[in-house]
Amino acid sequence: MMRKEFITRSPEETISLAEKFGKYLHAGDVLAYLGDLGAGKTTFTRGLALGLGLKDLVTSPTFALVHVYGQPPLQLCHFDMYRISDENELETTGFYDYDLKESIFAVEWSENILSALPASAIRLTLERISDEERRIILETKEAERFADFRA
Ligand SMILES: Nc1ncnc2c1ncn2[C@@H]1O[C@H](COP(=O)(O)OP(=O)(O)O)[C@@H](O)[C@H]1O
Ligand SMILES: [Mg+2]
Protein backbone atom coordinates (compact mmCIF):
# COMPACT_ATOMS: atom_id res chain seq x y z
CA MET A 1 0.00 0.00 0.00
CA MET A 2 1.30 3.44 -0.93
CA ARG A 3 0.23 6.42 1.16
CA LYS A 4 0.68 10.09 0.26
CA GLU A 5 -0.54 12.99 2.32
CA PHE A 6 -1.35 16.53 1.17
CA ILE A 7 -2.52 19.69 2.90
CA THR A 8 -4.62 22.20 0.98
CA ARG A 9 -5.36 25.70 2.25
CA SER A 10 -8.30 26.71 0.08
CA PRO A 11 -10.95 25.11 -2.14
CA GLU A 12 -8.90 26.30 -5.13
CA GLU A 13 -5.87 24.34 -3.88
CA THR A 14 -7.99 21.22 -3.53
CA ILE A 15 -9.32 21.68 -7.06
CA SER A 16 -5.79 22.17 -8.37
CA LEU A 17 -4.54 19.05 -6.58
CA ALA A 18 -7.47 17.04 -7.91
CA GLU A 19 -6.91 18.32 -11.44
CA LYS A 20 -3.35 16.98 -11.35
CA PHE A 21 -4.54 13.74 -9.78
CA GLY A 22 -7.12 13.27 -12.53
CA LYS A 23 -4.35 12.96 -15.10
CA TYR A 24 -3.18 9.75 -13.38
CA LEU A 25 -6.57 8.07 -13.68
CA HIS A 26 -8.06 5.98 -16.44
CA ALA A 27 -11.25 4.09 -17.21
CA GLY A 28 -11.74 1.24 -14.75
CA ASP A 29 -10.62 3.20 -11.71
CA VAL A 30 -12.76 3.37 -8.58
CA LEU A 31 -12.00 6.30 -6.32
CA ALA A 32 -13.39 5.76 -2.83
CA TYR A 33 -13.77 8.94 -0.77
CA LEU A 34 -13.77 8.72 2.99
CA GLY A 35 -14.56 11.77 5.07
CA ASP A 36 -17.31 13.83 6.64
CA LEU A 37 -19.76 16.35 5.29
CA GLY A 38 -17.89 19.46 4.18
CA ALA A 39 -14.53 17.70 4.00
CA GLY A 40 -14.20 18.56 0.31
CA LYS A 41 -15.20 15.43 -1.61
CA THR A 42 -17.40 17.25 -4.10
CA THR A 43 -14.86 20.06 -4.43
CA PHE A 44 -12.15 17.48 -5.16
CA THR A 45 -14.39 15.85 -7.79
CA ARG A 46 -14.79 19.25 -9.46
CA GLY A 47 -11.02 19.36 -9.98
CA LEU A 48 -10.96 15.73 -11.03
CA ALA A 49 -13.40 16.47 -13.88
CA LEU A 50 -11.15 19.32 -15.03
CA GLY A 51 -8.14 17.00 -14.98
CA LEU A 52 -10.05 14.52 -17.12
CA GLY A 53 -10.84 17.25 -19.63
CA LEU A 54 -14.55 17.33 -18.78
CA LYS A 55 -15.96 20.83 -18.95
CA ASP A 56 -19.24 20.42 -17.06
CA LEU A 57 -19.46 21.92 -13.60
CA VAL A 58 -19.57 19.16 -10.98
CA THR A 59 -22.35 19.52 -8.42
CA SER A 60 -23.25 17.31 -5.47
CA PRO A 61 -25.20 14.18 -6.45
CA THR A 62 -26.94 14.19 -3.06
CA PHE A 63 -30.45 13.92 -4.50
CA ALA A 64 -29.84 12.11 -7.78
CA LEU A 65 -27.40 9.64 -6.10
CA VAL A 66 -25.25 9.76 -9.24
CA HIS A 67 -24.19 12.37 -11.76
CA VAL A 68 -22.46 11.31 -14.96
CA TYR A 69 -20.09 13.60 -16.83
CA GLY A 70 -18.75 12.95 -20.31
CA GLN A 71 -19.49 9.75 -22.20
CA PRO A 72 -17.84 6.43 -23.06
CA PRO A 73 -15.04 5.59 -23.54
CA LEU A 74 -14.39 7.88 -20.59
CA GLN A 75 -17.20 9.02 -18.36
CA LEU A 76 -17.01 10.15 -14.77
CA CYS A 77 -19.69 8.59 -12.55
CA HIS A 78 -19.93 10.60 -9.34
CA PHE A 79 -21.90 8.78 -6.65
CA ASP A 80 -23.21 9.88 -3.27
CA MET A 81 -23.80 6.86 -1.02
CA TYR A 82 -24.87 8.88 2.02
CA ARG A 83 -28.28 7.21 2.21
CA ILE A 84 -27.20 3.79 1.00
CA SER A 85 -26.86 1.11 3.63
CA ASP A 86 -27.04 -2.24 1.84
CA GLU A 87 -26.41 -3.86 -1.52
CA ASN A 88 -30.08 -3.83 -2.57
CA GLU A 89 -30.18 -0.08 -2.18
CA LEU A 90 -26.89 0.14 -4.02
CA GLU A 91 -28.62 -1.21 -7.13
CA THR A 92 -30.86 1.86 -7.20
CA THR A 93 -27.83 4.13 -7.67
CA GLY A 94 -26.73 2.59 -10.95
CA PHE A 95 -23.52 1.35 -9.35
CA TYR A 96 -23.92 -1.96 -11.18
CA ASP A 97 -25.27 -0.46 -14.43
CA TYR A 98 -22.49 1.81 -15.60
CA ASP A 99 -19.76 -0.03 -17.44
CA LEU A 100 -16.65 0.46 -15.32
CA LYS A 101 -14.45 -0.37 -18.33
CA GLU A 102 -15.59 2.95 -19.81
CA SER A 103 -15.88 4.88 -16.56
CA ILE A 104 -14.14 6.29 -13.56
CA PHE A 105 -16.25 5.91 -10.43
CA ALA A 106 -15.81 8.60 -7.77
CA VAL A 107 -17.74 7.50 -4.70
CA GLU A 108 -18.67 9.83 -1.85
CA TRP A 109 -19.61 8.12 1.44
CA SER A 110 -17.92 4.94 0.32
CA GLU A 111 -17.84 4.11 4.06
CA ASN A 112 -21.39 2.86 3.48
CA ILE A 113 -20.54 0.40 0.70
CA LEU A 114 -17.06 -0.82 1.61
CA SER A 115 -17.91 -4.47 0.95
CA ALA A 116 -19.04 -3.62 -2.60
CA LEU A 117 -15.83 -1.79 -3.53
CA PRO A 118 -13.20 -3.61 -5.59
CA ALA A 119 -9.98 -4.43 -3.76
CA SER A 120 -8.20 -2.19 -6.26
CA ALA A 121 -10.17 0.90 -5.18
CA ILE A 122 -8.04 4.01 -4.69
CA ARG A 123 -8.81 5.54 -1.32
CA LEU A 124 -8.91 9.27 -0.70
CA THR A 125 -9.51 10.35 2.87
CA LEU A 126 -10.37 14.02 3.38
CA GLU A 127 -10.15 15.62 6.81
CA ARG A 128 -11.11 19.10 7.88
CA ILE A 129 -8.24 20.72 9.81
CA SER A 130 -9.71 24.23 10.00
CA ASP A 131 -12.18 26.34 8.01
CA GLU A 132 -9.87 26.49 5.02
CA GLU A 133 -7.40 23.65 5.59
CA ARG A 134 -7.87 20.05 4.55
CA ARG A 135 -5.70 16.97 4.88
CA ILE A 136 -6.06 14.70 1.85
CA ILE A 137 -4.63 11.20 2.11
CA LEU A 138 -4.16 8.99 -0.92
CA GLU A 139 -3.90 5.22 -0.40
CA THR A 140 -3.38 2.89 -3.33
CA LYS A 141 -1.99 -0.51 -4.13
CA GLU A 142 -0.47 0.92 -7.30
CA ALA A 143 2.64 2.62 -5.96
CA GLU A 144 4.28 2.81 -9.38
CA ARG A 145 1.46 4.54 -11.16
CA PHE A 146 1.27 7.33 -8.58
CA ALA A 147 4.98 7.57 -7.77
CA ASP A 148 5.35 10.97 -9.51
CA PHE A 149 2.10 12.44 -8.25
CA ARG A 150 2.66 15.60 -6.26
CA ALA A 151 0.81 18.83 -5.50
N1 LIG B 1 -9.06 23.44 1.47
C2 LIG B 1 -10.34 23.22 1.12
N3 LIG B 1 -10.63 22.20 0.28
C4 LIG B 1 -11.91 21.93 -0.06
N5 LIG B 1 -12.97 22.61 0.37
C6 LIG B 1 -12.74 23.63 1.22
C7 LIG B 1 -11.42 23.98 1.62
N8 LIG B 1 -11.49 25.04 2.47
C9 LIG B 1 -12.79 25.33 2.57
N10 LIG B 1 -13.56 24.50 1.83
C11 LIG B 1 -15.02 24.55 1.76
O12 LIG B 1 -15.51 23.37 2.35
C13 LIG B 1 -16.71 22.95 1.67
C14 LIG B 1 -16.49 21.55 1.10
O15 LIG B 1 -17.71 21.14 0.57
P16 LIG B 1 -17.87 19.85 -0.33
O17 LIG B 1 -16.76 19.78 -1.33
O18 LIG B 1 -19.26 19.86 -0.84
O19 LIG B 1 -17.64 18.69 0.75
P20 LIG B 1 -18.21 17.21 0.80
O21 LIG B 1 -18.56 16.79 -0.60
O22 LIG B 1 -17.08 16.42 1.39
O23 LIG B 1 -19.40 17.26 1.70
C24 LIG B 1 -16.97 23.96 0.57
O25 LIG B 1 -17.87 24.91 1.06
C26 LIG B 1 -15.59 24.57 0.35
O27 LIG B 1 -15.67 25.89 -0.13
MG1 LIG C 1 -20.34 16.04 -1.40
In words, the CATH class of domain 26-130 is: alpha beta
Report yes or no: 33 and 6 within 8 Å, Cβ to Cβ: no
pLDDT in tens, 5-34: 999 999 999 999 999 999 999 999 999 999
pTM over 0.95: yes
| Closest ligand 1 atom to Cα of 9 | 1
Alpha-carbon 123 to chain mean position: 8
Label the pairing between strands 74-80 and 66-71.
Answer: antiparallel
* Separation CA 75–CA 84 (nearest Å): 22
Q: Considering every ligand atom shown, identify the ligand nearest to the alpha carbon of residue 36 and give its number.
A: 1
95-133 residue pLDDT tens = 999 999 999 999 999 999 999 999 999 999 999 999 999
Q: Which of 6, 16, 43 to mutate to test ligand 1, by most ligand atoms within 8 A of the CB atom?
A: 43
